[in-house]
Amino acid sequence: MLILSNNVATTTFDEMYDKSKWNINLLRELNVYEPSEDTFLLLDALESDLENIIASKPRMVLEIGCGSGVVITAIASVVKDCHYIAVDINPNACNVMKNTAEMNKTHVDIVNADLLKSFRLNSAIDMIIFNPPYVETEDEETLVAGISQSWAGGAKGRKILDELLPVLNSALSLTGTFYLVAISYNDIEDLEKCMHDYGFNCSVLKIRQILGELLFVLKFSKERVIGR
């Protein structure tokens, strides 16, 4: 698909589904989460919302838990004139992210950090993307270093995500957006209510059934809700 705009390249995210665009051997060698169904669902959702992303003219886009780097690299390869930042608690993932960006000739600043805890929250980020560790586990499993940090989500699969939600308002710009992968047992209704209380509207971009569970990509817009 072609996009005729001064702000974007001529291709969308199609190339990022090609395994030659990321180093599968490096991923396995460093024990980093490989692009999977949730990754590709997130890519599908972002591509479906690409017109809105371009229209918003983001100046800063940040992905939390970048892992392989496929998602933010896809956006960086299409939407230009933007500062891209990738964050991951796993230093091996940061190395893989660097490799993916270089392979695809994109520039992404990479930070080895836990969520946004190393950042000054000054409402400067226009778009945050997060495919969190959403699998329901014991809370203790979320503290184990290594690849399990990419999927172990604690109670209801929400422990890590719930640490992030209260600071999103301070991190995002006035018209900022937050793209999130979630699974049905994360309690989507409660998640939407929590974000509503923080002043965000919610829309569902994609739903897909995977291994008996519904996987969602949600978009939260930092707009004042009517009546608040």
DSSP class per residue in 183-214:
EGGGTHHHHHHHHHHTT-EEEEEEEEEETTEE
Compute the distance between CA of residue 134 and CA of residue 154 in angstroms, rounded to an integer. Answer: 8
Compute the distance between CA of residue 184 and CA of residue 157 in angstroms, rounded to an integer. Answer: 10
Average pLDDT over residues 199-227: 86
Task: Name, in order, each residue with C-beta under 8 angstroms of 24's C-beta and a sequence gap of 6 or more.
Answer: 34
Whether residue 221 contacts residue 174, with contact meaning beta carbons closer than 8 Å, is answered with no
Query: Which range, of 71-85, 149-163, 210-224, averages the lowest pLDDT?
Result: 210-224
Compute the distance between CA of residue 47 and CA of residue 210 in angstroms, rounded to an integer. Answer: 20
Compute the distance between CA of residue 31 and CA of residue 93 in angstroms, rounded to an integer. Answer: 8
pLDDT digits (tens, 9 = 90+) for 211-223: 788 999 999 998 6
Helix (H) or strand (E) holding 47: helix 37-48
Average pLDDT over residues 27-52: 93
Residue 123 has pLDDT above 50, yes or no: yes
Residue 143: the pLDDT is: 87
Task: Name, in order, each residue with C-beta under 8 angstroms of 92's C-beta and a sequence gap of 6 or more.
Answer: 30, 31, 32
pLDDT band at 14 (very low <50, low <70, confident <90, very high): confident
Residue 12 has pLDDT above 70, yes or no: no
Helix (H) or strand (E) holding 111: strand 109-112
pLDDT band at 4 (very low <50, low <70, confident <90, very high): very low
Average pLDDT over residues 181-185: 96
